[in-house]
Structure 1
Amino acid sequence: MLSFALALVGILAPVGSYASDPGPSACANITSQLGSSKVVNNRFSLKYHESTEYWSTPQGDHKPACIVYPTTSKDVSTILQSVRAADSRFAVKGGGHNPNDFFSSTDKGVLIDLSKLNKKSYDSETTLATYEPGGVFGNIYEYFEQFNRTVVGARLSGVGTGLALGGGMSYLSPQYGMACDSFRELEIVLPNGTIVTASNTTNTDLFFASRGGGGNAYGIVTKYTVQSRPIGEFWSGNLIYAFPQKDTVADAIGDFIQYNTDPKAAIIGTYEKLPTPDINLNLDEIIIMFLVYDGPDPGTAFDNFTSIPHLLDTSKIRSYPEVVDMPIPVATEISRGNNIFRVGVHYADNDEYKFALDKWRAWGEEHKGKYLLLSLDYQPVPKSLTDASKAQGGNAMDMPDGPWFWLNYLLTTPPGMSKTAVDAVRSSFRDMVESTGNAEGLPLFINDASADQHPLSTFSTYSRLQEIKQKYDPDNFFADKTGGWSFE
């Protein structure tokens, strides 16, 4: 009984009682400066539980010494300085959608939860929009809809704003470029705690690197000022196909990637493998097309998809917030699990879209029982997108002219699987993706990449990004004390 009582005291004790431990020491200092209302260290509290929920559930196994909820950039500065002084580990959490270990989670360190940084504004004279990093894009879209405007961001409402720092693919990207291309000014708290503004005229190197060049690698972004975009009605929906159309749909996707020239038309082509037996008929496989047109009438833009026999067609006129709720409003939440991403990149003028699909399908058949869900997503990068990016100054990816495409590979392993088994299936999954190769000269998409793929090294701007990283994080504080993309 005494040992239980002591253990309970250890869990609930004030963080200051562990002054020799970097995490609790940092937490005690932060609490003394920001007040106890902005710090949570009780692991049994609902607030602690909510902040340690992630889309990739293993990230929630990491237990921070405390969770801090800044409400201003000055708070973020104070937190970083306290973390530095204690030599503690830390992590920055926005929407918590990145599945890479320690990218937004920390064990025994300080978790900086940005959810209270959620202010938004719109200037009708300049048409510029601002939003802070807390919350998810669905909430941001709903706010700007009252002005008949939106911002370029995620394609699922439940994804956080950190997506934009990684590039950010949107249904509007064929017209306006990546999410990061719309940045006009960023407020950033540097690793040393200094609060700066980065734009095309101030701290221009930092602004360049923050547009798709490594997320929060150079500091913590506390406010985005972006070019907003006009918004109206969308023709959109999901087409769902059964196994007999598997190759027909792949050909239609390949044609769309190569030949579509309408920047208002956007797709995601998704192949899903289920753990059920296929009985040699591919009964375990479905195809879901996401078709989105900026306007009420797509004309012939999607004829090569709608002409293929399908099981279900949900297309109708929607508002933009409704578009990003396809196929269902809680898609992000219900897809939580032991998830990992990997990414591939390919040119459109060959049969690589088929080659990768065949490799993926064969792997899925060979590993039945070792996954809960297996998904392959085709994400076109048309020339209209790369032209729009270049017209706004380009981004850290230095995107070559389209058309080309990214492939997102998702693996969800079953609950209760041993770590040894999970590691083995992930290793095999990695080998399968690597066997499909990647096109030389094209960047991997860091929003969908696994940390071991070292996506930044595929950027033509990599050496420049390394120099910028060294300039703004000279003592490797961020590199050593939190997770993130490798610059080595």
Structure 2
Amino acid sequence: MASLALAAFLGLLVSLSNAEKTQSSPSCCSLLSEAFPDCVYDKNTQAWSSEKYNFWSATAVLDPTCIFTPDSTEDVSRAVRLFAQNECKFSIKGGGHSNIPGAASIDDGVMMVMSRMKTTDLYPDKGYIHVGAGVLLKEIYATLDPHNLSAVIGRYGEIGLGLAVGAGISYFSNRDGLAVDNIRNYEVVLASGEVVNSNRKENRDLFWALKGGNNNFGVVTHFDFNTVAIPGRVYGGLIHYPESSLDKVDDLIYDYHTRQAVEGLLTHAMPQWVYNGSTNDTYNLTPLVYNDNVDELPPILKPWLDVPHISTSLAPRTYENLSIYLNEDFGDGLIQEQRVFTVYADKKFYKDVLYKFREWLQNFQDVPGFLGAHLNMPITPRQVDQGLLKGGNPLGLENAGNSTLGVLFFGITFEDPQYKEHILPEHDKFVQSMIDLARERGVLYPYIMLTYCGYNQAAIASYGPENVDRLWRVQRQYDPKDMFQRFVPGGQKLPPQSNK
């Protein structure tokens, strides 16, 4: 009897020890270090500190217990099995361009950084490029440009591949649709550690779900992007407009959304209104691209040059050069906050929103380094149709019918975190007031683009109850123990189902 009591007591000690391991981040990091001695950075080391702060926005910086930098899909698979067995909380970081706390980092957990997974293998005869999850967009362009090929990916060179599980607007979107609709295959590590391919033939439901479903189903380790042929260099750059020209630029925005982007499939424009608090000045910087080997803008884009402007840098360029050039003035480490919503294209609403945003921004002109930015990006009927033709996605855009949608982005930047507690809630309230105005005028479309959303905006819920229910069915199939809901707490998680 005594021996049985002793055995029970020792069993209890073992059980308590195991319980501590499942709840203790240091224990998870110790186990990870044993398994991957060359891939784990312990807290407060130089490498840990460098990676901890390596984010576009200071709002994304948290305090991970350790940082894991896998070299391969097999490393990720082994690590995910370890995380599942020991109930370790973790995050997944690609390029680190989200401003949302927890989207790519974590407090008291493991931050898995994909930066060593830099594969860019081109298969021109098969029409795709195979890229690792740590690749930056400029590296994809650099691989493709010499072969007169490109891909439907993001526009700024320092961005990673988070857009490939979010949405993704591209230079080619007017012709080919969103980035998620031009992915041939996802290589995914599931909660069990199993590695699967997800495409139109294998794991088709998972393929659909990943095209907007974020980090809720597994760790994507590699992406296969379809390639598109290009005629060498393309024509693009920036046009800088003064405040006195903004009303005419606003007219061009509506024309671009409803005519130029619809009729000119090789066009791309992304007007950016910028407010500079230090000068109390508003101006416009418009990246303009014509995806053809020409020496000047074609007639459909000529109106952009007819509006009085300060300067232009339009010139023949490679896509690598274009992606680096457009990214030059986007520094890292400042406070960045962004919010977004979607409307049916409406000229008056576009103008009213810009006027109201400029007026609101002036309340903060004395905040050091304060900048505001407003973008208005079209999703045309063709873009939506391309998604349907290529297997569909969960975004819920097909209900727009034959109308162009405008994705309205509102961003603010400043230097000193002491202002966060005041400015960020005010920014939230302002954008919500614009959403309310859009609803009142009957132009609101219920889509929140995940890659531009704010920290408390319900992007996945905006896809609609039917799509959310289907995402949950996929989640239960591929992650029946809810690992990616419970142990990957950051980013946009699946919202409650409509029938619960």
Q: Note if contact 2:364-2:370 (Cα within 8 Å) is conserved in structure 1.
A: no
Looking at structure 2, the residues matched to 441 and 428 of structure 1 have their Cα atoms a distance apart, in angstroms, of 19
1:446 paired with 2:443, answer: no
Deviation of the 1:125 alpha carbon: 1.9
Matched AA of 2:480: P
The CA deviation at 1:273 is 0.8
Distance in 2 (alpha carbons) for counterparts of 1:416 and 1:187: 38
Identify the residue that residue 59 of structure 1 maps to in structure 2.
60
Residue of structure 2 in register with 1:395 after alignment: 393
- Is the CA contact (8 Å cut-off) linking 1:22 and 1:87 kept in structure 2? no
Q: CA contact under 8 A between 2:339 and 2:453: conserved in structure 1?
A: yes
Partner of 1:143: 143
1:210-268: CA deviations, max 9, x gaps? 112x2121111011122111122211111111111111111111111111111100100
What is the match of residue 462 of structure 1?
468
User: Which amino acid in 1 is paired with 2:29?
Assistant: C
Cα distance in 1 for partners of 2:419, 2:309 equals 38
Q: Could you tell me which amino acid in structure 2 is paired with residue 256 of structure 1?
A: Y
AA aligned opposite 2:95: G
1:373-384 → structure 2 map (5 Å cutoff): 373-384=371-382
Per-residue CA distance 1:364-409 (angstroms, 9 max, x = gap) = 1233334711100111222332233232223221433452211111
1:170 Cα deviation from its structure 2 partner: 0.5
Assess if the C-alpha contact under 8 Å between 1:175 and 1:384 holds in 2.
Answer: yes
Question: How far, CA to CA, are the matches of 1:217 and 1:120 in structure 2?
Answer: 25
For the 8 Å contact 2:40–2:68, the answer to whether it is kept is: yes
Query: 1:433 offset after TM fit, Å?
Result: 4.3
- The answer on 1:181 being equivalent to 2:185 is no
* 1:111 equivalent in alignment to 2:79: no
Please say if residues 356 and 436 of structure 1, whose CA atoms lie closer than 8 Å, have aligned partners that are also in contact. Answer: no
Contact 2:165 2:211 in 1 (8 A): yes
1:268 aligns with 2:270: yes
**TM-score computed with the length of structure 2 as normaliser:** 0.87
Name the counterpart of 2:4: none
Distance 1:418 1:435 in 2: 26
Residue 146 (structure 1) shift: 2.7
Cα distance, 1:341–1:436 mapped onto 2, change above 3 Å: farther
Amino acid at match of 2:40: V
Q: Which residue of 2 is the match for residue 129 of structure 1? A: 129
Query: Which residue type is aligned with residue 262 of structure 1?
Result: G
Q: Which residue of 1 aligns with 2:45?
A: 44
Q: 1:47 to 1:421 in 2, by over 3 A?
A: same
SS at match of 1:290: strand
Distance 1:359 1:471 in 2: 46
Give deviations 1:120-141, integer Å, cap 9, x for gaps: 2122221121111112111111
SS in 1 for 2:447: coil
3-state SS of the aligned residue for 1:104?
coil
User: Is it true that 1:310 corresponds to 2:305 in the alignment?
Assistant: no
Name the amino acid aligned to 1:468.
Answer: V
State the one-letter code of the partner of 2:462: T
Residues 198 and 388 of structure 1: is their aligned pair in 2 closer, same or farther, counting only changes over 3 Å?
A: same
Segment of structure 1 superposing worse, 435-444 or 199-208: 435-444
The equivalent residue for 1:484 is 491
| SS of residue in 1 equivalent to 2:215 | helix
Q: Distance in 2 between matches of 1:369 and 1:226?
A: 45
Give the equivalent residue in structure 2 for 1:13: none
Distance 1:411 1:470, change over 3 A: farther
Give the conservation status (yes or no) of the 8 Å contact 1:217–1:484.
no
CA contact (8 A) 1:30 1:78 kept: no
Deviates more, 1:164-173 or 1:464-473: 464-473
Deviation per residue, 1:132-178 (Å, 9 max, x gap): 11121111110122322122111100000111111111111112111
The corresponding residue for 1:4 is: none
* Aligned-residue offset at 1:479: 1.7
Contact 1:266 1:291 in 2 (8 A): yes
- The range that moved more, 261-270 or 414-423, is 414-423
- The answer to whether 1:217 aligns with 2:221 is no
Q: Which of the residues 460, 463, 477 maps onto 1:471?
A: 477
Contact 2:25 2:110 in 1 (8 A): yes
Give the letter for the 2:309 counterpart: H
Q: Which SS does the other structure have where 1:222 is aligned? A: strand
Stretches of structure 1 that go unaligned for 5 or more consecutive residues are 1-17, 279-283
Corresponding position of 2:360: 363
Q: Is the CA contact (8 Å cut-off) linking 1:26 and 1:85 kept in structure 2?
A: no
How far is 1:422 from its partner?
Answer: 4.2
Q: Distance in 1 between matches of 2:220 and 2:50?
A: 25
Residue number in structure 1 paired with 2:418: 417
Query: Equivalents in 2 of 1:171, 1:81: separation in Å?
Result: 39
Kindly tell me: are residues 421 and 254 of structure 1, through their superposed partners in 2, closer, same or farther at Cα, counting changes over 3 Å? same
**Alpha carbons of structure 1 residues 474 and 437: separation in structure 2 relative to 1, 3 Å:** farther
The residue that corresponds to 2:163 in the other structure is: 163
**Secondary structure in structure 2 of the residue aligned to 1:324:** helix
Distance (Å, rounded) in 2 between the aligned partners of 1:424 and 1:209: 32
Q: Distance in 1 between matches of 2:385 and 2:139?
A: 29
How far 1:119 moved relative to its partner?
Answer: 1.0
Output the aligned Cα RMSD.
2.2
TM-score (norm 1): 0.89
Which of 274, 282, 285 pairs up with 1:285?
Answer: 282
Counterpart in 1 of 2:319?
Answer: 320
C-alpha change, 1:433 and 1:161, in structure 2 (3 Å) is same
Q: Count how many residue pairs are aligned between Structure 1 and Structure 2.
A: 462
CA deviation after TM superposition for structure 1 residue 187, in Å: 0.8
Distance 1:448 1:70 in 2: 27
* Shift in Å, 1:100: 1.0
Match of 1:6 in 2: none
5 Å-filtered alignment, 1:430-441, equals: 430-437=431-438, 439-441=443-445
The code of the aligned residue for 1:145 comes to: D
Residue 322 of structure 1 deviates from its aligned partner by: 1.3
1:32 to 31, 34, 39: 34
1:5 is aligned to none
The 1:252–1:418 alpha-carbon spacing in structure 2 relative to 1, beyond 3 Å, is closer
Q: Is the 8 A contact 1:382 1:402 kept in 2?
A: yes
How far apart, in 1, do the equivalents of 2:413 and 2:434 lie?
15
| Higher radius of gyration, 1 or 2 | 2
